[in-house]
Amino acid sequence: MSENDSKENSNILNVTNGDCAVDVMKKAGIAGDFLPWRDVLHDGPVPADLSLEDLSKVRAEFIIGKGWGGDDAETAIKQDFIDRDNQLNNYQDYEKVILWFEHDLYDQLQIIQILDWFAHSFTQRQQGTTKLSMICTENYLGMQSPDEMKALMRYESLVTKEQLTLASRAWSAFRSTLSVDKPKQWQNLLNQDTSALPFLPFLKGAIVRQLEEFPDHKTGLSRTAYQALKIFAQGETRCGKVFGEYSKTEERRFLGDVSFWGILDEMVNANPPLLVPKDSSQLQDSVKQTDDLVITIIGKKVLKGKANMLDYYEADRWIGGTHLSKDNIWCWDATGNCLVLR
């Protein structure tokens, strides 16, 4: 390999889903710089009509408000988003940008966000000589060995204009607001041709999985909350073990434990609660993995569909661009495969 070839091969920006993947890539000797995309887009507000930088401010405030990263992490979280966006904005400094992602909901949302950004960037300024390619498989990147990670490079393919267009359509749909006078754009993607994307089954699976996080129209529970409550009903009490058992129910694992504790918090804070501490003491702050919880009588009724959690807990959640609130509750009807306004 010549000196020029070596320089070109190292002049690459690898964008991927988090620090664990980056660690493995470095051990595998993957050439170039690394940009972990650390945002949990399936949790919290992702409103429409905001630039990447303005949306990053919204996302940073959400993460800070959740207390993720600790009490003193505010400055670091905001700066992390700024540094991430600046590095992406400098993509023309690279010969190639490679997007390394997976098949699950967490990654699929990140993919359509990044591809949408490139679609607009290529329109607003010249793409130059930078090539944009993608590697997207069913392999969990952070769990690969260095040799397995390097072997994934055989799946690399250039991103096409059609793929950028479709990703923009999907990203816009995810950020759309569900209200009486707005179409259900995210759900409607299931009936549209998304064959331009090589990860077609992954994207459609992600769409369905996100829809399942809307409250069920009978129980008021998201799919995650239902599975968690079911595990508690079977006798498990330790929250960390419940999370492990819940993870086994996912065909494509996407949810981190911190988001999971927030879902348990909602069931603990319902009035009356669906879950209570095992020893009848008050929880300190919010749920954590070492806590022991047990299901209540009302929790069992909700689980059986004889009661609805939404009658005991005032919804205040964001799913993409949709704010679920007292006056705007959209529910998932699994039988009809559609969203319905409560």
Q: Which domains, ranges and CATH numbers included, belong to the chain?
A: 3-177 (3.40.1360.10), 216-314 (1.10.10.10)
pLDDT given for residue 2 in this prediction: 40
The two beta strands, 131-136 and 96-101, are parallel
Q: Which residues contact 49 (CB under 8 A, 6 or more apart)?
A: none
pLDDT given for residue 63 in this prediction: 94
Residue 338's nearest CA partner among 183, 201, 230, 226 is 183
pLDDT given for residue 207 in this prediction: 92
pLDDT given for residue 126 in this prediction: 67
Residue 23's nearest CA partner among 11, 40, 36 is 36
pTM assigned to the model: 0.92
State the Cα–Cα distance between residues 68 and 83, nearest whole angstrom: 19
pLDDT given for residue 55 in this prediction: 97
pLDDT given for residue 306 in this prediction: 97
Residues of the chain whose pLDDT is less than 50?
A: 1-8
Please check whether residue 47 is in contact with residue 58, taking contact to mean a CB–CB distance below 8 angstroms: yes
Please check whether residue 141 is in contact with residue 17, taking contact to mean a CB–CB distance below 8 angstroms: yes
Distances (CA, A) of 288 to 77, 179, 260: 22, 34, 9
Please check whether residue 244 is in contact with residue 227, taking contact to mean a CB–CB distance below 8 angstroms: no
State the Cα–Cα distance between residues 296 and 298, nearest whole angstrom: 5
pLDDT given for residue 281 in this prediction: 66
- Tell me if the bond preceding 47 is cis, omega within 30° of 0: no
